[in-house]
Amino acid sequence: MILLAPSVLGADFKRLGEQIQSVDRAGADYIHLDVMDGTFVPSISFGMPLIGSVRGCTERIFDVHMMVEEPSRYVDDMKRAGADLICVHAEACRHLDRTIRQIKEAGLMAGAALNPATPPEVLRWVLGELDLVLVMTVNPGFGGQKLIPGMMDKIRALKDMCASLGLSPRIEVDGGITADNVRLALEAGADVIVAGSAVFGGDAAGNVRRFKEIFREFEGEA
């Protein structure tokens, strides 16, 4: 089943709780929370206090995308704040395997994210531990950027590597996804779709329903 993960970075923060509830009611599967530290990526977004304060708004999976150097420092704090899935960047972890194990030992789902320039092969020896691989379809750091179309081939290469190893982590795509281009990602093999501006720019509930309808159509054809 294809899942939708609205990124709250695109939401209106003065009514964040309400917006999360509205995408939840419209059928969002995960709530994608982008944590940025101003070092791994240029911008700073939010952290544990905000995540903890909106945790009570929904029971949906909190998918925390850590755009943070050495995220192992925050695994326990993120768990306490309410994360269900922690996704760390391969480029930001000196000991990626250890960090992934730490997330699993905390009882959470573990994901690894790849910047556009990072090849899927860096995950070869940790793939068996991962619940999810996040293929960035923009350079991380900001919402509202344009999708890099070449990343579709990377998703295919990743899917081939997974198949050759007999593994099937979820494949998440993040950055520049809209109702008009999401099919490209679905055809390439993505099954968790992050969308920030394409959900929260305008009628968020209506946009969630539109994405879910596209997913149903695609699954009907498959």
Supply the DSSP string of 179-190, one letter for each residue: TTTHHHHHHHT-
Rounded Cα–Cα distance for residues 91 and 186 (Å): 25
CB distance 192 to 3 below 8 Å: yes
Pick from ligand DX5, Zn ion, none: which does 195 bind, CB < 5 to 8 A by kind? ligand DX5
- Minimum gap (Å) between residue 8 Cβ and ligand DX5: 8
CB distance 215 to 4 below 8 Å: yes
CB distance 5 to 207 below 8 Å: no
For ligand DX5, the closer of residues 140 and 169 by Cβ is 140
* Contacts to ligand DX5 by CB under 6 A: 7, 9-10, 32, 34, 65, 138, 140-145, 174-177, 194-198
Nearest Cα to Cα of residue 135 among 72, 82, 193: 193
Pick from Zn ion, ligand DX5, none: which does 170 bind, CB < 5 to 8 A by kind? none
Rounded Cα–Cα distance for residues 13 and 178 (Å): 21
Residue type, 16: L
- Minimum gap (Å) between residue 41 Cβ and ligand DX5: 7
Annotated active-site residue in 34, 37, 63, 191: 34
Annotated active-site residue in 24, 29, 174, 191: 174
Pick from Zn ion, ligand DX5, none: which does 47 bind, CB < 5 to 8 A by kind? none
- Minimum gap (Å) between residue 151 Cβ and Zn ion: 14
CA angle 170, 172, 178 (to 5 degrees): 140
For Zn ion, the closer of residues 72 and 137 by Cβ is 137
* Residue 34 bears catalytic tag: yes
Site for Zn ion in 36-75 (CB under 5 A): 65
- Minimum gap (Å) between residue 60 Cβ and Zn ion: 16
DSSP 123: G
Active site residues: 34, 174
Residues found near Zn ion in the complex (CB under 5 A): 34, 65, 174
